[in-house]
Structure 1
């Protein structure tokens, strides 16, 4: 099952070691498409959309307003 991760590349120009999962753009259990924006993460002043790597049912593993680190898993997608 593919993981939805906060890409380490988002920290390429950031000074901060962590970010905040601002909000989920879809609800837990929603059927999502590959490439669909599912969450918004704030790193410093920048807000980034996180997309699903594949199509399937989204299972949230991190809650909104939670601190996130580079590469961390925030959800899983089940085919």
Structure 2
């Protein structure tokens, strides 16, 4: 398993303590490639793509609309 995290670097310029998981770009269980955009997170006025950390099948652990913190895990990728 490989975790998909919201990068702490996305908060480097912002003053907000959290963001919002706006939407998923893939469905739960979908096959994804490393580096593929899988979700969109809004921090302030900026929308950021979150990419897969590995090739495999994604298992979503945070629903769209959830608040996200720097470094939080929003999904996992089964690499088998």
TM-score range, shorter chain: over 0.9
CA distance in 2, matches of 1:53, 1:59: 12
TM-score scaled by length of structure 2: 0.98
RMSD: 0.3
Aligned to 2:8: 8
Aligned to 1:17: 17
Aligned to 2:70: 70
Q: Could you list the per-position Cα deviations for residues 2-31 of structure 1 after superposition, in whole angstroms to 9, with x for gaps in the alignment?
A: 100000000000110000000000000000
Q: 1:7-46 alignment to 2 at 5 Å? A: 7-46=7-46
- Count of residues paired in the alignment: 79
TM-score scaled by length of structure 1: 0.99
CA distance in 2, matches of 1:26, 1:2: 16
Q: Secondary structure of 1:9's partner?
A: helix
Gaps (5+ residues) in structure 1? none
Q: Secondary structure of 2:16's partner?
A: coil
